């Protein structure tokens, strides 16, 4: 069983920054790819970013490239999403997810999920 707990969401003005954290309760954390998804009201869940086992391979959806950075610290069993230059359209519930297959670029590969954290960007 893998448990994921997100933190770091909140309310921020447009142009501001937030850093989301995801703590994973699994000693074999480094065998999981990690990703971040988001879901805005009335919209489908969107795959935002993914990172491979050792952090050298990453994926970003086009709308966040250059603004968001995904990272991980295997020693701390944690993953992060640094979000800069935030826009009102980034407002959503953000979910951390883990892929036991290690496939960081494939949304359907993610099989463990956190409970989500709200990010609200005001204009």
What percent of the chain is modeled with pLDDT above 90? Answer: 88
Helical ranges in 64-114 per DSSP H? none
Torsion over CA: 85, 89, 91, 96 (sign)? negative
Q: What is the pLDDT of residues 65-109, one digit of tens each?
A: 999 999 999 999 999 999 999 999 999 999 999 999 889 999 999
Quick one: pLDDT at residue 13? 98
pLDDT at 28 over 80: no
**Confidence label for 2 from pLDDT (cuts 50, 70 and 90):** confident
Of the candidates 10, 36, 33, 9, which has an alpha carbon nearest to the alpha carbon of residue 20?
A: 9
Quick one: pLDDT at residue 1? 80
């Amino acid at each position: 069983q893998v448990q994921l707990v997100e933190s770091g969401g909140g309310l921020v003005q447009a142009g501001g920054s937030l850093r989301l954290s995801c703590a994973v309760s699994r000693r074999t954390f480094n065998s999981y790819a990690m990703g971040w998804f988001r879901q805005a009201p009335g919209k489908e869940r969107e795959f935002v970013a993914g990172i491979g086992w050792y952090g050298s391979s990453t994926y970003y959806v086009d709308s966040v490239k250059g603004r968001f950075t995904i990272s991980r610290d295997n020693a701390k069993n944690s993953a992060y999403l640094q979000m800069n230059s935030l826009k009102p359209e980034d407002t959503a519930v953000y979910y951390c997810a883990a892929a036991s297959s290690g496939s960081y670029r494939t949304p359907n590969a993610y099989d463990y999920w956190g409970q989500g954290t709200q990010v609200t960007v005001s204009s």
